[in-house]
Structure 1
Amino acid sequence: MKKRALILAMIAFITAIASEPAANTVYAEETQTEESAGQASELPVKALTPKAMDVNPYMAASDSNIHHDCYNTDSTDEVLPVDIYSEINVSYEKVNPNASPAVFFDSYGHSVVPLLGGLAIRDINADEAQTLGYFSPKQHDNGSYLIQSSYSFVDESNRIVCPTNDNRVLMLKATDEEGNVLPEFEKVLDIDIKAAAEAALGKTLDQNLLSVVFDYEGNLWFATGGFRIYPDRKQQGTFGYVSRAAIDKILNGEDVDLSDAVFVYELEPGEGAENGIAASKEGAVILTNLKCYLLQADNGVKKVWETSYKSVGAKESKEGDETTGGGLAWGGGCSPSLTKDLVMFTDNQDPVNLIAVDMKTGEQVASAPVIDELPEGTQVSVENSAIVYDDGEGTVSTIVCNWFGAGSAKLGEADNDSSIQSYENIYDVGWLRQGNKMIAPGIERVDTVKTEDGYEMKSIWCRSDLSDTSMMKLSTATGYIYGYV
C-alpha cells in the first residue's frame, strides 16, 4: 500500500501500454471512494505477464532503486491505481525544500527518500510526511558532503548503498533484523572510491564519482563522470569495481588493503559516464558520452565489448524558444536498460534513435528514430532511462520520453562540477519555477520484435501532446504507464 499511495498522489495521466483492449480485457472495480464502491471503471485493465529478468541476489527484493531494479526497467509488478483522480492522497511536506526527486523501497515496503542532503525512511502516507529514521551527513558525520540519491539503492540485507558528492561510497544499516526502522541509520561501510582509483592508476583523476551498482557476484561497480561530459575538454574518466571479498571483510570489521581490492579501467581523455549503471548475469553495462560497454570482474576489469554511438552534442534552447533550459547529457541521456538478451539506450542525434545491442556480442541489432512526430522546431533529448518491458516471448516494449528543457544552461560551463546532483546545479530555473510548460513534449512506444531474420523495431504509438516531468513507470499488473505533470 505504500507504493500505491505514493504513485496515486503523483498521477496526472495514465496511458495504456496495450494499443487496444483485448477480448479478455477486464474492468477495474472502483473501490477507492464510498460513492464509487463496486462500480466498474471506464478504464480497461489488461494485466501483462510479470517482467522477465534474472533476480540479482545482492539487491533488495523490491523496487530497490529509482529505476526499480538493476536492469533499469522502470517497471514494477506491483498493482498501481486505475482511473484518474479516483483518489488523491496528499502528504504535507514541511521539511524538504523540494519534493523528493528519487523514491525507492526496501524489502519491507519502506520508502527511502532524500532528506536535507542525506537519506531517510519516511511515512509518506500520513497527513504530514513523517521521518521514521534517517542519516544526515552534517549531523552524523560532521560532514559537508551530500548523498547522491539518484544512484543509491537498497541491497539484499536492506542496507542502503549510496555514492556521495565527495567521491565516497557509504553503506547504511537502516533497519534491524525484524525490519524495524532505526531512528538513526548506522554507517557500516565507507570507501573513498576516487582515492582508491587514483592509487590504483598512479595519477589524479579529473572526474568525480557518479554512480554505483552491485553485479550478480556482489562486486560494487562504480563510474566517474557527470552531466555534459564534453570530449574536447579531455577530462579523464574511469570505471571499475570493489571486490565482494573486500566488502564482506569490511562488514565483518576486518582491515582491508584496498590496493588489492579495487580494480580500475581507464577511459580515453574526454570520456565519462553521464548516467546510471545497469547489471545482469553477463556483467555491468555502462553508457558513457561516447560508447556503451559490457564489463566483467575477472581479478581486474574485463571489457567484453564496447559499442560506439553518435551524438550531436549538448542541446541548448535557442533564442526565441519558449524553453530556457536544455538537455542534461552531451551523449545519450538514457541510462542503459536491459533484457536478458538486449541492451537498450538512446543516442543524442537529431532525430534521437533508440538502439538495441546484443547483450553477448555488443552488435547493434536494431535501431529506429523516436519522438520525431513533433511540431517543427521541437528539440528532443531523452534524459531519463526508458521503460523496457520484456514479455518473455520475443517482444520488448520500450517507452521513451522527451525531457528537453529540464537541464540547466550552467551545465555547459567549463568549471561546473556536473556530478553534483542538486536541483540548483543540474536543473533549469525556468522549469523549477514554471513546471512542465518548460519541458518539450513527446512520448513514444516502440516494440523490438525478434524474428527469424533477427530483430526489427516498429512504432506502436507516439504522443506529441504530453510533457512528463518525471520518470514514467509501468505497472505490469494493470498494463498502464504512469507519469507526472
Structure 2
Amino acid sequence: LGKELTQNLLSVVFDYDGNLWFATGGFRIYPERQQQGVLGYIAHSAIEAILNGEQTDLSKAVFVYELTPGEGAENGIAASKDGAVILTNKNCYLLRANNGVEAVWCTPYESVGAKVSGEGDKTTGGGLAWGGGCSPTLTPNLVMFTDNADPVNLLALDMKTGEVVAKTPVLDDLPDGYQVAIENSAIVYDDGAGTVSTIVCNWFGAGNAGLADPNNDSSIQSYANIYDQNWLMKGNAMIAPGVERVDTVKTDSGYEMKSIWTRNDLSDTAIMKLSTATGYIYGYVQDLTTGMWQYIILDFATGETVFTMDVSNKYGYNNMAIGMYTGNSGNALYCPTGYLELLRLQDRFVYLPELPYREVDLDQAARNVLTQDQFAQDGGEGTVASWRNTATIRNVHPNTTVAFRMNNLSGSASDLTLYAYGPDGKLAKVAPELWSITDETGAAVTELTDGVLYELRVTVADSGDFDLSETEKEIKLSVVLGK
C-alpha cells in the first residue's frame, strides 16, 4: 500500500466478496486542523495474486474514497452483504466495491468534539475520538453506533437507506464529576423477533488529555501517547462509570428505543462479551473499595451481578483497554493485562463425584451449543435440551462416573434422554441405568426448575461403546440431553 498508507492504518475488514476494506486516521481528528483520513479497499483479485506469490499492479487494485479535509476515520469497520459500514468523525457511510468505491449512502451526525476532563472532574484523562467513538455494529436491518453529543445518543440507522430510524440518550444520569465517551463497539444482539438489544459502556477518562495538543501525533499507537497515565497507574478509579442496556423495538409505526437497565457503579474498558447461550454478560472491572481487579458476570436481563472472581489488587492487572475474547471450547474467557500476562477464567463444570480430589483437565473439556439441525443430523430424536458436554478423564477405573454441572434444565426428568457420541460421530441413546439427574449432593431429582444447578451423572466404561479415546485408562466422553 505504500509507506504513507500503512503508517496510519487504523482498521481493516474483508467484505463478503473478499475485498479488503481499510481506513486510515487516528484519534482526535480535529476538523479545523484539516487532517484527512482515507477510506478504500484492495480488490480481491489482487489479494489472491499476492497470496499465490504472483506480481500484481496495486495501482490498479487499490481504490480510495476521497474525504474532505478535516474528516477521518477514528473507528473500526463493519461489513455485511450490503457493503462496508465506516464511521468517520462526521459521517456514517455504507460503501460498496464497484470498480471503485461506491457510496451507497452517507449519514451525517452531530458531535460536540473532543472531550477532556475539566476542573472538578474525578478523572484526569478524556475520550479518544473527536466524533463518535463507537465503531458501528450491524444487524440484518440496522446500523448501531453512538455519537459524541452531549448527552451521548445511541443511533439506529436503516441499513438500506442510512435513515436515522431511532435515537435516544444513553448514560445521561451519571453522578456529578463524570462525562461520557463510548469508545468501543457496543454489544448488539438481534433476537430475530423484532428486538435489538444494545449494551454501551462508558470509557471516558482512559484517553490521554494530551491528544488535544496540536503537536501530538495520534497515529503513533503507544500507550504513553494514547492513554492517560493516571489510569494506567491508578486503575478504574480514573474511569467514568456507566453500563446501560437499551432495546430497539420494531413497531407498526417504525422503531422505538427504551432503556432496560443501567449500572452507574461499574467502570469497564475490557469490551464486555455477551453469551446468548448463558444469558450472561462477561466483563473485567476493578473493585474501587479494595482495588481488586476481578472478572464480573452480569445477568443480561436485569444487569445484576451474579458472579465475581478476584484476580489481584496490583496496578499492573489493569486490562489496558484490550478487549477480552472467548475460546472455542465454550468454557474459556481470556483477558490481557499490563503485566503482559493473559488471564483465563474457566468454569469447572465437570468433575468425578467418586474421586473429587482428582481434577479434570479443563483444557480437555468443552461445552458447546449443539444446534437442533446438527442434533437431528447426528441421530438425536426430539429436541436438543442441553449443551454438548465433552471431557477427557485420565487414570480411570474400568467404570467411572462423570458429573457435568448444568443449570438450564426444566420440566420432568423422566422426559429427558441422554445421548452419547460414538467413534462414528453418531449419537446413540445411553441406557437409563447408566445415568441420572441429581442435585449438588448427588440425590436424584424428578422435577427440574430452570436456574437451579443440577448434575448430569453418567457412568462410562474404559474402551466401552461411548469411550472416544483409544488410550488405555483414559476415557473421552461427549454427551447431550434430548427431550
1:335 to 115, 135, 146: 135
2:118 to 295, 312, 318: 318
Which string of whole-angstrom CA distances, capped at 9 and with x for unpartnered residues, describes residues 148-178 of structure 1? Answer: xxxxxxxxxxxxxxxxxxxxxxxxxxxxxxx
* Partner in structure 1 of residue 269 of structure 2: 469
Which string of whole-angstrom CA distances, capped at 9 and with x for unpartnered residues, describes residues 217-262 of structure 1? Answer: 0100011111101011011222000000000011111110111100
Which string of whole-angstrom CA distances, capped at 9 and with x for unpartnered residues, describes residues 287-317 of structure 1? Answer: 0000000000000000000000001111111
Aligned partner letter, 2:156 = A
Distance (Å, rounded) in 2 between the aligned partners of 1:375 and 1:333: 22
Distance (Å, rounded) in 1 between the aligned partners of 2:66 and 2:19: 18
Aligned 8 A contact 1:274 1:289 in 2:
yes
Aligned 8 A contact 1:316 1:325 in 2:
yes
**Overall identity of the aligned pairs, in %:** 76
Distance (Å, rounded) in 2 between the aligned partners of 1:415 and 1:281: 40
**Residues 222, 194 of structure 1: CA spacing in aligned structure 2 closer, same or farther, 3 A cutoff?**
farther
Q: Secondary structure at the match of 1:327?
A: coil
Aligned 8 A contact 1:193 1:209 in 2:
no
Aligned 8 A contact 2:71 2:88 in 1:
yes
Q: Secondary structure at the match of 1:484?
A: strand
The 5 Å alignment of 1:393-472 reads 393-472=193-272
Q: Secondary structure at the match of 2:74?
A: coil
Distance (Å, rounded) in 2 between the aligned partners of 1:474 and 1:195: 34
1:242 to 42, 56, 64: 42
Aligned 8 A contact 1:227 1:419 in 2:
yes
Distance (Å, rounded) in 2 between the aligned partners of 1:462 and 1:228: 28
Q: How many residues align?
A: 285
Aligned 8 A contact 2:244 2:261 in 1:
yes
The 5 Å alignment of 1:364-383 reads 364-383=164-183
Aligned 8 A contact 2:206 2:238 in 1:
yes
* Partner in structure 2 of residue 273 of structure 1: 73
Which string of whole-angstrom CA distances, capped at 9 and with x for unpartnered residues, describes residues 89-138 of structure 1? Answer: xxxxxxxxxxxxxxxxxxxxxxxxxxxxxxxxxxxxxxxxxxxxxxxxxx
Shift of 1:416: 1.9
Distance (Å, rounded) in 2 between the aligned partners of 1:450 and 1:320: 42
Aligned 8 A contact 2:122 2:177 in 1:
no
TM-score, normalised relative to structure 2: 0.58
Structure 2 residue 36 is the aligned partner of structure 1 residue 226: no
Q: Secondary structure at the match of 1:398?
A: strand
The 5 Å alignment of 1:59-74 reads none
Aligned 8 A contact 2:121 2:178 in 1:
no
* Partner in structure 2 of residue 283 of structure 1: 83
Which string of whole-angstrom CA distances, capped at 9 and with x for unpartnered residues, describes residues 55-102 of structure 1? Answer: xxxxxxxxxxxxxxxxxxxxxxxxxxxxxxxxxxxxxxxxxxxxxxxx
Q: Secondary structure at the match of 1:277?
A: strand
Distance (Å, rounded) in 1 between the aligned partners of 2:225 and 2:266: 26
Q: Secondary structure at the match of 2:99?
A: coil
Which string of whole-angstrom CA distances, capped at 9 and with x for unpartnered residues, describes residues 329-379 of structure 1? Answer: 100010001101100000011110000000010000000000012113421
Which structure would you say has the larger RCO, counting Cα contacts within 8 Å and 6 or more residues apart? 1
Shift of 1:420: 2.6
Distance (Å, rounded) in 2 between the aligned partners of 1:409 and 1:470: 20
**Residues 279, 222 of structure 1: CA spacing in aligned structure 2 closer, same or farther, 3 A cutoff?**
same
Distance (Å, rounded) in 1 between the aligned partners of 2:91 and 2:219: 19
TM-score, normalised relative to structure 1: 0.58
Distance (Å, rounded) in 2 between the aligned partners of 1:195 and 1:347: 27
**Residues 325, 222 of structure 1: CA spacing in aligned structure 2 closer, same or farther, 3 A cutoff?**
same
* Partner in structure 2 of residue 348 of structure 1: 148
Q: Secondary structure at the match of 2:47?
A: helix
Structure 2 residue 92 is the aligned partner of structure 1 residue 292: yes
Aligned 8 A contact 1:352 1:380 in 2:
yes
Shift of 1:193: 7.0
Distance (Å, rounded) in 1 between the aligned partners of 2:125 and 2:79: 32
Aligned 8 A contact 1:402 1:440 in 2:
yes
Q: Secondary structure at the match of 2:233?
A: helix
Shift of 1:194: 3.8
Distance (Å, rounded) in 2 between the aligned partners of 1:193 and 1:240: 16
Shift of 1:320: 3.0
The 5 Å alignment of 1:121-136 reads none
Aligned 8 A contact 2:84 2:95 in 1:
yes
* Partner in structure 1 of residue 290 of structure 2: none
Aligned 8 A contact 1:445 1:461 in 2:
yes
Structure 2 residue 157 is the aligned partner of structure 1 residue 357: yes
Structure 2 residue 22 is the aligned partner of structure 1 residue 212: no
- Any gaps of 5 or more consecutive residues in structure 2? 286-483
Aligned partner letter, 1:272 = G
* Partner in structure 2 of residue 260 of structure 1: 60
Aligned 8 A contact 1:373 1:462 in 2:
no
Distance (Å, rounded) in 1 between the aligned partners of 2:5 and 2:251: 48
Aligned partner letter, 1:463 = R
Larger proportion of strand: 2
Distance (Å, rounded) in 2 between the aligned partners of 1:421 and 1:281: 31
Aligned 8 A contact 2:121 2:177 in 1:
no
Distance (Å, rounded) in 1 between the aligned partners of 2:76 and 2:269: 19
Distance (Å, rounded) in 2 between the aligned partners of 1:376 and 1:439: 13
Aligned 8 A contact 1:194 1:209 in 2:
no
- Which is worse superposed, 373-382 or 471-480? 373-382
Aligned partner letter, 1:192 = G
Distance (Å, rounded) in 2 between the aligned partners of 1:208 and 1:406: 21
User: How large is the Cα RMSD of the aligned pairs?
Assistant: 1.3
Which string of whole-angstrom CA distances, capped at 9 and with x for unpartnered residues, describes residues 186-231 of structure 1? Answer: xxxxx437459xxxxxxxxxx9221111000010001111110101
Larger Rg: 2
Structure 2 residue 101 is the aligned partner of structure 1 residue 301: yes
Q: Secondary structure at the match of 2:232?
A: helix
The 5 Å alignment of 1:103-252 reads 191-192=1-2, 194=4, 208-252=8-52
The 5 Å alignment of 1:6-85 reads none
Distance (Å, rounded) in 2 between the aligned partners of 1:465 and 1:481: 16
Distance (Å, rounded) in 1 between the aligned partners of 2:75 and 2:131: 10
Aligned 8 A contact 2:199 2:243 in 1:
yes
Q: Secondary structure at the match of 1:324?
A: coil
Aligned partner letter, 2:2 = D
Shift of 1:322: 2.2
Q: Secondary structure at the match of 1:275?
A: strand
Distance (Å, rounded) in 2 between the aligned partners of 1:369 and 1:261: 42
Distance (Å, rounded) in 2 between the aligned partners of 1:428 and 1:237: 24
